[in-house]
């Protein structure tokens, strides 16, 4: 059920609500098959009369309908995959954040100067996190080994201790014959402590070699809790469909919050790049 908080304002909307609002916001009738979503929007007061959008929604929908830059954040953890992001328009910035097991995401306006902070907050970036561990700071293996390690988590009994879980992960990693020694131990620890693996992508319409096209920048990070942040250097983002296979190299290098903050800043287009979009 959609809802809103007039004090900020912020809105909880599912994908079907956004579809209905987008059609109505562009002067089109509500799409067929979305009658329930339309009724829910009327019931909560975000639509009134002949499908008129609430004035509270206008800045948000104008931005979603006419984006200049779309920032997508895909975060995967033990609860599944969540999709967050920013939509940057001509005058406003809209942030959206999803919640495990919920259809609705929260949409809210963000002060443009706070965009990097908003993204850092979405990934739980902690400048205060200090890692004192002295183990390997670079792990390199294959996609097959990575997938074996991640998949092994599903077979760990719920009552297993953390050490039993690590032993189970190490066994799965060893089965591929691609890792050994300190790197094997470290990678098993990283998978066991993995809070989330996330990928941040910014895309906008620009010009490349005189031709119109879409420009994108992206990077991926593992948040391994007490073991810190790890930048996934390989496969390098953005990854095209079919580009990665079982033998593809996976390389993770330890990073820190300061460097990741800089990477978030760098993934966003500069003012000149946005102007090239011609929007």
Chain centre distance of CA 228 = 18
Distance CA 215, CA 138 (A): 30
The alpha helices in the chain, defined as continuous H runs, are: 15-25, 35-44, 58-65, 115-122, 143-152, 162-174, 181-193, 257-267, 271-275
Three-point CA angle 128, 129, 132, nearest 5°: 130
Distances from the Cα of 7 to the Cα of 2, 11, 56, 62, 108, angstroms: 16, 11, 11, 20, 11
Average pLDDT over residues 242-270: 96
Distances from the Cα of 15 to the Cα of 1, 67, 126, angstroms: 11, 17, 30
What was the pLDDT predicted at 155? 86
Band of residue 208 on the pLDDT scale cut at 50, 70, 90: low
**CB neighbours of 244 closer than 8 A, spacing ≥ 6?**
143, 235
What was the pLDDT predicted at 10? 95
Residues in the chain: 279
What was the pLDDT predicted at 132? 66
Average pLDDT over residues 155-166: 87
pLDDT digits 0-9 by tens, 71-128: 999 999 999 999 999 999 999 999 999 999 999 999 999 999 999 999 999 999 998 6
Domain-by-domain residue ranges, the chain?
3-122, 124-279
Backbone φ and ψ for 159, nearest 5 degrees, come out as -90, 5
Beta bridge partners of 106: 12, 97
Percentage of the residues of the chain whose pLDDT score is greater than 90: 81
Band of residue 193 on the pLDDT scale cut at 50, 70, 90: very high
Lowest mean pLDDT among 129-138, 167-176, 181-190, 231-240: 129-138
The per-type count for the chain, helices as H runs and strands as E runs, is 9, 13
């Amino acid at each position: 059920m959609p809802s809103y908080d007039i004090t900020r304002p912020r809105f909880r909307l599912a994908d079907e609500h956004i579809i209905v609002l987008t059609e109505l916001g562009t002067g089109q009738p509500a799409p067929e098959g979305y009658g329930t979503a339309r009724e829910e929007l009327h019931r909560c007061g975000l639509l009134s009369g002949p499908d008129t959008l609430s004035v509270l929604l206008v800045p948000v929908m104008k931005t979603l309908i006419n984006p200049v830059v779309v920032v997508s954040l895909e975060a995967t953890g033990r609860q599944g995959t969540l999709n967050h992001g920013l939509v940057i328009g001509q005058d406003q910035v809209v942030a959206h954040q999803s919640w495990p097991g919920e259809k609705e995401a929260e949409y809210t306006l963000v002060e443009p100067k706070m965009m990097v902070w908003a993204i850092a907050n979405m990934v739980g970036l902690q400048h205060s996190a200090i890692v004192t561990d002295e183990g390997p700071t670079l792990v390199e293996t294959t996609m097959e080994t990575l997938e074996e390690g991640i998949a092994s988590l599903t077979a760990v009994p719920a009552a297993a201790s953390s050490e039993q879980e690590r032993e189970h992960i190490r066994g799965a990693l060893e089965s591929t014959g691609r890792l050994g020694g300190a790197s094997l131990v470290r990678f098993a620890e990283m998978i066991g402590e993995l809070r989330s693996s996330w990928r941040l992508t910014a895309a906008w319409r620009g010009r490349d070699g005189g031709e119109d096209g879409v420009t994108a920048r992206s990077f991926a990070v593992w948040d391994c809790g007490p073991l810190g942040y790890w930048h996934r250097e390989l496969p390098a983002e953005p990854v095209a469909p079919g580009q990665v296979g079982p033998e593809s190299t996976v390389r993770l290098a330890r990073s820190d919050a300061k460097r990741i903050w800089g990477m978030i800043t760098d993934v966003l287009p500069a003012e000149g790049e946005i102007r090239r979009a011609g929007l």
